[in-house]
Amino acid sequence: MRSSLHDLLPPPTRRALAKLGQDIAIARRKRHFTVGMMVERMGVATNTYRRVEKGDPTVAMGAYAMALFVLGLGDAVGELVDPKRDEVGLHLDEARLPKRVRLKKTPTSL
């Protein structure tokens, strides 16, 4: 049974997940890892791992993260939303900067 998540995801996001799954499959084969080796090292069912390679959006993010870790690519997960690489966030921060900076007047004590 297909989840409504398949239908709700924007097409670019579905394509990105499918590409991620394909990239994981390619990385696995380059390392000469079998599906069984990945399943054992990840601690998931074979069906779950096969869904990872298909880019299934209903698979838990932890399974994708574990697959990347097993392949030696675990650092990539921590870089996904790095604030230093968030172009939109950086532009918003810059737009929020005040035009001028003024010191607040404080009453002088007598």
Q: Provide the whole-model pTM.
A: 0.78
**Does some domain include residue 83?**
yes
Q: Is residue 33 part of a domain?
A: yes
Domain that includes residue 80, residue range = 4-95
CATH number at residue 84: 1.10.260.40
Q: Per the structure, how many domains does the chain have?
A: 1
User: Cβ of 73: how many Cβ atoms within 10 Å?
Assistant: 14
Q: 2-57: per-residue pLDDT in tens?
A: 567 778 999 999 999 999 999 999 999 999 999 999 999 999 999 999 999 999 99
Q: How far apart are CA 40 and CA 32, in angstroms?
A: 15
Q: Tens digit of pLDDT for each residue in 57-104?
A: 999 999 999 999 999 999 988 888 888 888 999 999 999 998 888 888
Please check whether residue 23 is in contact with residue 73, taking contact to mean a CB–CB distance below 8 angstroms.
Answer: no
Residue 68 lies in a domain: yes
